[in-house]
Structure 1
């Protein structure tokens, strides 16, 4: 028999996390696209495929400083019997007049310079006597050495980036090289983070009886930014329905998503659930996720801005963000995939997990030299912030897993904190 979720009342349904998240994602659409210049595109998701208006390279050019030659003119060259060619002129990277190589001649070319017609190889300067009117060549490169042909890398009309792909510096370089200056992207979602609770105080002091440091809002603001959002920490809101509604009425005018922490339970001070649960604006459910508690999702305001209500306990809030809020932010941003990379890993030690709950446990994930991954749970359990701070991933133990022996294979979500 499955264990009762710690936040469920007897008789309450425990909603599978997959179902709760799927229902929420079905209600969220990517934000409308905007046109931006390449210099503003980094980090955004493409809203449409980008095709190359021109070829890359755009023209045949030299990749080295040297002499553009016909291959037949140099094929017999040796260090002892160098071939002498007449140098017809110099071609720099800024040259634009077309020129042609004649038998027994060559051109001195710079790296990046357009190739004279008839060029079959570029002999590096160091392989010659570096002559100006005539040049002696004592070594023979392979045919095609030192040159790139038009379209070698990208042909005109080729797809450079797919809708949903996140724009990276390297993708921007490819766009620019092929003649793209503006792209259609999804804007970064504006995400507002609000911590609720009369007991909360700003960071800078240690918690004491009756006062608890607000860990959630600064941590989740950073987590939302890492997920691709333009995140704003509003700060602390007292457990007062009118105060909460006033803050939200103000913030829904400038946000695409609101995230609250705390107040999702059934206690007398849980104002978030009492404020939004009764009118049906937000659906609260006991979800099969550990560690966590009741989660809420719905829309508020005339613009029907999505709102996510997370638990107040910091470890539970951060895990719930990873499992539930982060995919929704990614959906708003139009990024594919919305989930973190998931891999199979070899478990290094036996772990137990509560029945009926999907556990997300901070873990040390290592890539094996021969391929694959190993994973070990971090000490202290899933609630500890110290474990999350050094974790390289989250070990995922499904609702039916109560014991995973050492040597078994488990699912792992990999963290990527390069942003």
Structure 2
């Protein structure tokens, strides 16, 4: 059998970063910057008021108080957005709004709360120090400064900064485009009345959500029967649209294993057993288009996951999610690892890495196994907040022993 680490390396080597693209700000959200971003201008762009109030010369209001207010004529009114240059004459005040450009000669802003709010003459009841309530040009950002670094995830704050700097586009690593395909003649869509032997398709829905949660873009979620011709036709219909194909089902050792039947003899996809539970049957490789020389077609990476729902999602977590996030440059490609104390004993198969569903209590530092270990018990995985990772050489653990877990919360 292949070890978990060996198969992780195989999958990681398949999934490569796409070339950087320059996109609009809305499209850049959540993606990773491909290069440093330098400020084309300073912020603030000009000296402006941090308060609604009055622009004054500080010396003109020295000694002002409630008992001895200073009266000044209001020579002008400056709303935000005024563009003509203004100058404050000694012994006068300009009524000014937050964000409005400061007139030359002004050295302070007195908040309106410390005045009578006059429009012709203002009565100022507080002194003002030099620079009070003034935002100086360039005090936040100096033109030419690197403000965002390559590898930074474009957050709402980063978008706000880019927009404030007049940048309408950013160069980022694009999302991986993922095609998720579920296989099985027994599968039907929700809303269809079930016939005997049929089940509702859930794996593609589940894995598409997992791919999006990992930061990828899902191209489509088609379903195929166990007919090799139909399976191949569906895949060919999406040729060139995906950077990664994920299939689920059709990789075990029995008959009607459509994925193995379609690729088993091509040499492009290798099917293996991985020493883990759940998720032992796995496959990975490249899908080459039928037309054109092989040398000009690097092939689309394909990862074939088992069909049992718990096996499929656990396999995605172990093999696909970290490789996807790494290819997109996203931080923390791996789920956080925690150490916790078991609240009950458990057994594990010798020679296989077991991933058990669990409920982790971070306050107590304990974890309880949750539900049966079989790979069809999806209900328990849906309510779990972690996976316990139990090493291949461990067959039994007692309550109170430490165990490592993957935090899914």
Alpha carbons of structure 1 residues 164 and 126: separation in structure 2 relative to 1, 3 Å: same
Aligned to 1:4: none
The residue that corresponds to 1:314 in the other structure is 309
Secondary structure of the residue aligned to 2:66 is coil
1:201 maps to 2:150: no
Instruction: Give matches, 1:345-384, under 5 Å.
Output: 345-347=339-341, 349-350=343-344, 352=346, 354=348, 355-365=350-360, 368=363, 374=365, 376-377=367-368, 379-381=370-372, 383=375, 384=377
2:293 matched to which residue of 1?
none
**Structure-2-length-normalised TM-score:** 0.86
Which residues of structure 1 form unaligned runs of 5+?
1-12
CA distance in 2, matches of 1:392, 1:98: 61
Q: Secondary structure at the match of 1:252?
A: coil
- CA positional deviation for 1:66: 0.6
1:343-385: CA deviation from partner (whole Å, max 9, x where unpaired): 53544624536254444444445665xxxx8453463145432
| Structure 1 residues 326-345: aligned runs within 5 Å | 326-332=321-327, 334-337=328-331, 339-345=333-339
Partner of 1:284, secondary structure, is strand
Q: CA deviation at 1:42?
A: 2.3
CA contact 1:217–1:233 (8 Å) conserved in 2 = no
Change (3 A) 1:86 1:194: same
2:380 matched to 1:387? yes
Change (3 A) 1:63 1:365: farther
Whether 2:66 is the aligned partner of 1:79: answer yes
Q: Hey, what's the Cα distance between the residues in 2 that align with 1:340 and 1:170?
A: 25
Give the 3 Å change call, closer, same or farther, for CA 390–77 of structure 1 in structure 2: farther
Q: Deviations over 1:161-192 (max 9, x none)?
A: 33343323322111101121111123333211
Contact 2:208/2:221 (<8 A) preserved: no
Q: Is the 8 A contact 2:370 2:384 kept in 1?
A: no
In the alignment, is the contact (CA less than 8 A) between 2:272 and 2:281 conserved in 1? Answer: yes
**Counterparts of 1:291 and 1:81 in 2: how far apart (Å)?**
82
What secondary structure sits across from 1:184 in the alignment? strand
**Deviating more after overlay: 171-180 vs 359-368:** 359-368
Q: Is the 8 A contact 1:51 1:157 kept in 2?
A: yes
- When residues 31 and 132 of structure 1 are mapped into structure 2, their CA distance, relative to the original with a 3 A threshold, is same
> How big is the shift at 1:311?
0.6
The CA RMSD over aligned residues, in Å, is 2.8
On the 8 A contact 1:350/1:404 being kept in 2, the answer is: yes
Deviation at 1:294, TM superposition (A): 1.5
Deviations 1:97-128 (A, max 9, x none): 33344443332111110112344432211210
Counterpart residue number, 1:29: 16
Does the 8 A contact of 1:195 with 1:235 survive in 2? Answer: yes
- Relative distance call for 1:85 and 1:392 in structure 2 (3 A) is farther
8 A Cα contact 2:357 2:371, kept in partner: no
In the alignment of these two chains, the number of paired residues is 397
**Which sections of structure 2, spanning at least 5 residues, go unmatched?**
290-296
**Structure 2 partner of 1:5:** none
TM-score by length of 1: 0.84
244-253 vs 156-165, which deviates more?
A: 156-165
